[in-house]
Amino acid sequence: MAADVEASEGARTAAVRALEAEFSELITHFRRLIMDNANRVSPGMLPGAYKTFTTIARCGSVTSSALAERMLVDKGQLSRTVRDLEELDLIRRSPDPSDGRSSLLSLTPHGEAKLLEAREPQEGMLMRNLADWSVADIDSLTRLLHALSSGATPGRED
């Protein structure tokens, strides 16, 4: 019985290590994509600035404080990045109607165009990579990744 438990734990450890290795490869791939996209938006743009830019794009409009909280970054560092993005005419500040002391950050039309242009080479890559997958497999991967990222156990309703 103890040997079965040891073998089971060994198999679990090996499986988790294999998963970690695959995540490492995936992260490396995504870093490369982000660096390429950042350079297409503006040559020399750092990946952190691109992340700030795309986070603003996903939010539609957001205050600097909410953006810093969402991205888990220092407000001073974020302030410099926001200033750089403004100088590139990628984002703009507008008064926050709900709080006159703060402003909302959003993409400019130029920023929207640059983001579309930067993403174009990868457009459809995920669709192509998943073309031979069944919808059930895609749904399963989505469910499992959500469970992993939220700390839930797959198959349990929490």
- Taking a C-beta distance cutoff of 8 angstroms, is the pair 91, 85 a contact? yes
The ranges assigned to domains in the chain are: 2-122
Mean pLDDT of the region 6-17: 88
Does the structure show a pLDDT above 80 at 152?
yes
Q: How far apart are CA 56 and CA 85, in angstroms?
A: 11
Distance CA 102, CA 117 (A): 30
87 token code pair: 């100088």
pTM for this predicted structure? 0.76
pLDDT in tens, 23-76: 999 999 999 999 999 999 999 999 999 999 999 999 999 999 999 999 999 988
Q: Tens digits of per-residue pLDDT, 82-123?
A: 999 999 999 999 998 888 788 999 999 999 999 999 998 888
DSSP E strands: which ranges in 10-113? 62-63, 91-96, 99-107
Q: How are beta strands 62-63 and 91-96 bridged, if at all?
A: unpaired
Q: Which fold has domain 2-122?
A: Arc Repressor Mutant, subunit A (1.10.10)
* Model pLDDT, residue 157: 54
